[in-house]
Amino acid sequence: MLAWIRARWTILPELGIVKGIDGKTIGSVRDNGYIQLRAQNSKLDRSVRRTHLIWWAHYGEWPTSEIDHIDRTRTNDRIENLRTSTPARNEANKARYDQLLGSRPKRDSDTAEHSQWLQGESANPSSSNTTKP
């Protein structure tokens, strides 16, 4: 499967994207907030998370543990935002951020505002509440 993917897709770990033969970014956001790609031909039909492809392209090996998004944005698959994690640590992070941000997956547009808020900096200069949660 990985040879088939290499021959047809361009994986750009620094940008966190995968491009098809036509040069367009490929993948779709699933209900769980993660981007998934489908490798499909007459011999192959498999869905893979973009996160795993990015990891594989950068490190040269398929991840053997869970991959965690450092900024909690499930669509931000830039290699600098990915780290290995244990299931317990990943669940703890998920629970903490779900509690702070609501249960929906975080969108890319939320990143700056929530990142500043989580660090105790107000994203709104007129706001006086700058304490850490």
Q: Name residue, tokens 């900024």.
A: 71
Q: Domain count of the chain?
A: 1
Q: What is the CATH number of the domain that holds 103?
A: 3.90.75.20
Domain that holds residue 29: 2-118
The whole-model pTM stands at 0.67
Q: What pLDDT score was predicted for residue 121?
A: 40
Query: Is 75 inside any structural domain?
Result: yes
Q: What pLDDT score was predicted for residue 91?
A: 79
What digits encode the pLDDT tens for the residues 28-75?
999 989 999 998 877 878 899 999 999 999 999 999 999 999 888 999
What digits encode the pLDDT tens for the residues 77-99?
999 999 999 888 877 777 665 66
Query: Is 33 inside any structural domain?
Result: yes
Q: From CA 33, how far away is CA 125, in angstroms rounded?
A: 30
Query: Is 127 inside any structural domain?
Result: no
Judge whether residue 120 has pLDDT over 90: no
Cα angle 49-51-52, degrees, rounded to a multiple of 5: 75
